[in-house]
Amino acid sequence: MKKTFELEDLDCANCARKMEEAISKLDGVTSCQVNFMTQKMTLEADDASFDKVLKAAVKEISKVEPDCSVIL
C-alpha cells in the first residue's frame, strides 16, 4: 500500500532527510519519501502492517522534529 500524508510545521530540508532515513529503516517499509518543498510524506509499506508502520513513522518524525505533525 502506498499513501501520501501532509506534514505540518516541517522546518528544514535536513530534518526531512533525517526523517526519510529513519522511516526507511523501519520493518515493513518498502519506500519512504519526505519532501520539504511540498511538506508531504509518501509511505509505501506492506498492506497487512501498514497501520503499525504508520504509527512507528509518526514516532520517528516526532523524534527528529517534535513540532512537526502528520495530517492523517
User: What confidence tens digit (pLDDT) does each residue in 11-20 have?
Assistant: 999 999 999 9
pLDDT at 47: 94
Signed CA dihedral, 26, 27, 28, 31: sign only = positive
pLDDT at 7: 98
In the chain, where are the structural domains located?
Answer: 2-60
User: What confidence tens digit (pLDDT) does each residue in 22-49 have?
Assistant: 999 999 999 999 999 999 999 999 999 9
Q: What is the DSSP string of 3-54?
A: EEEEEES---HHHHHHHHHHHHTSTTEEEEEEETTTTEEEEEE-STTHHHHH
Comparing CA positions, the residue from 48, 1, 24 lying closest to residue 61 is 24
CATH 3.30.70.580 fits 2-60, yes or no: no
Q: What is the pTM of this model?
A: 0.93
